[in-house]
A and B are shown apart, each in its own frame.
Chain A
Amino acid sequence: KNEVEQSPQNLTAQEGEFITINCSYSVGISALHWLQQHPGGGIVSLFMLSSGKKKHGRLIATINIQEKHSSLHITASHPRDSAVYICAVRKGAQKLVFGQGTRLTINP
Chain B
Amino acid sequence: DTEVTQTPKHLVMGMTNKKSLKCEQHMGHRAMYWYKQKAKKPPELMFVYSYEKLSINESVPSRFSPECPNSSLLNLHLHALQPEDSALYLCASSQVGTQYFGPGTRLTVL
Chain B residues near A44: list those with CB within 8 A: 101
- Over the window 33-47 of chain A, the binary record of Cβ atoms lying under 8 Å from chain B Cβ atoms (1 yes, 0 no) is 101000011111100
Cα distance A43–B42 in the bound complex, in angstroms: 11
Partner of A94, one of B42, B50, B101: B50
Cα distance A67–B70 in the bound complex, in angstroms: 42
Cα distance A44–B94 in the bound complex, in angstroms: 13
The binding surface of chain A is classed by DSSP as: strand
Binding-face segment, A13-21, A51-59, A70-78, A98-106:
A98-106
Partner of A100, one of B42, B92, B103: B42
Within 8 Å of chain A (Cβ to Cβ): is B90?
A: yes
Partner of A96, one of B37, B40, B45, B100: B45
Within 8 Å of chain B (Cβ to Cβ): is A95?
A: yes
Within 8 Å of chain A (Cβ to Cβ): is B17?
A: no
Q: Which of A41, A95, A101 has the most CB of B within 10 A?
A: A41
Chain B residues near A101: list those with CB within 8 A: 40, 42
Interface size on B, residues (CB 8 A): 25
Cα distance A48–B55 in the bound complex, in angstroms: 23
Interface size on A, residues (CB 8 A): 20
6 residue pairs A–B, Cβ–Cβ below 8 Å: A35-B101, A42-B101, A94-B50, A96-B45, A98-B42, A99-B42
State the 8 A-B residue pairs at the shortest beta-carbon distance, nearest first.
Answer: A98-B42, A43-B101, A41-B104, A42-B103, A45-B98, A48-B98, A48-B97, A94-B48
Residues in chain A within 8 A of chain B (CB atoms) = 31, 33, 35, 40-45, 48, 86, 88, 90, 94-96, 98-101
